[in-house]
Amino acid sequence: MTSETTAVPPEIESLIGGLRAGERAVLARAITLIESKHPAHQRAAHQLVQCLLPHTGTARRVGITGAPGVGKSTTIDALGSHLTSLGHKVAVLAVDPSSARTGGSILADKTRMARLAIAANAFIRPSPSAGTLGGVAARTRETLLLCEAAGYDVILVETVGTGQSETAVADMTDFFLALMLPGAGDELQGLKKGLVELADMIAVNKADGDNAARARIAAAEYGAALHILTPRFPEWPPPVVTYSALTGAGIAQLWDHVLEHHRRLAATGAFAARRRDQQVKWMWALVEERLHGRLAADPTLKVRVPELEAAVAEGALSPALAADEIVHTLGL
């Protein structure tokens, strides 16, 4: 029997109804269900997402990254408030692979989004990592779909800007925005090539007061760095702009670039191709997550893996043979 013909339990029907009605309390409950590790909850969550798929895919998905101190929360507060003033419904999803260890890092972001946190048309939700980047990506993608089904037409996905979280967020959003600070200098030397290649735009924050001139210089230097790289999409050479999250100067222009990016990629079919590619990457991320779960839960491997690790570390067994034994034990 296919998922389309399987009877939908009343509790799932109730969640779907509340989500489609835009009830924030129901959205919060649905996300909690998505994040649960209980097998029964996971089955219900999969059914919920499957039922909601026809009501997703219409939002603008924007990933935002930047080093600590660059002003991500202030930027999201300013940009989100600008969007709600235009009539948009905005959801903010915080992705932090360290959250399972630190506990409160992303919750603190909510207090720094003072205007957005009280806006009727905004929803802010931290996403726990479950200890792995794959867990962050999987849960955040599903949460994103729930927000779309609940009527949020702009989804802002925030990442801490370190490690592989950037790639995970870039693979689930339409537009990836990298925030930088004035005074490129040393920052430019340490700028990760991978981040530059992922970015659809670089925006230099704190372009106000005495920092304005330094911000313009930094933007020129970042622009020169981008110029030597081949853009991901020939339709869109990533721009470098300056703005001030504090004063709001340039915030409207940030959104104009997001819209222009969509217009250009949609006109050539690149936007739809990007979405399709992201769906396939999501599938493989879930495959890896579930294989890792089987690996961790297998009773034979719980005993054997430490022995294999010790043998590999001591040089008594090659990593390839050890890997073969693990895979064989899983029946793959």
* 42 and 80, same domain (yes or no): no
Any domain includes 33? yes
* 44 and 63, same domain (yes or no): no
Sheet holding 90-95, edge to edge: 122-127, 90-95, 154-159, 60-65, 175-180, 201-204, 240-242
Any domain includes 278? no
Q: Which two tokens stand for residue 258?
A: 């997001």
Residue 28 sits in a domain whose CATH number is: 1.20.5.170
* 12 and 94, same domain (yes or no): no
Any domain includes 159? yes
Domain endpoint, select from 243, 267, 291: 267
Nearest CA-CA partner of 19 in 152, 114, 110, 187:
152
pTM of structure: 0.86
* 151 and 234, same domain (yes or no): yes
3-state secondary structure of 319: helix
What's the rounded Cα separation, in Å, for the pair 196 and 222? 9
* 69 and 126, same domain (yes or no): yes
* 186 and 199, same domain (yes or no): yes
* 292 and 257, same domain (yes or no): no
Any domain includes 49? yes
3-state secondary structure of 259: helix
Q: What pLDDT does residue 139 have?
A: 83
Q: What pLDDT does residue 298 have?
A: 87
What's the rounded Cα separation, in Å, for the pair 116 and 80? 6
Any domain includes 242? yes
The segments of the chain whose pLDDT lies below 50 read 1-5, 98-106, 131-135, 189-190
Q: Which two tokens stand for residue 142?
A: 């599903």
Any domain includes 169? yes
* 221 and 256, same domain (yes or no): yes
Domains in the chain: how many in total?
A: 3
Domain endpoint, select from 236, 267, 298: 267
Domain endpoint, select from 242, 267, 292: 267
Count Cβ atoms within 10 A of the Cβ of residue 107 and give its class: 0-12 exposed, 13-18 middle, 19 or more buried: middle
Any domain includes 277? no
* 129 and 175, same domain (yes or no): yes
Any domain includes 105? yes
* 49 and 66, same domain (yes or no): no
* 162 and 191, same domain (yes or no): yes
**H-helix segments, the chain:** 10-20, 24-35, 39-52, 72-85, 99-102, 105-112, 114-117, 133-149, 165-170, 184-190, 193-198, 212-227, 251-268, 270-297, 299-313, 319-329
Domain around 292: 283-329
Residue 118 sits in a domain whose CATH number is: 3.40.50.300
* 230 and 255, same domain (yes or no): yes
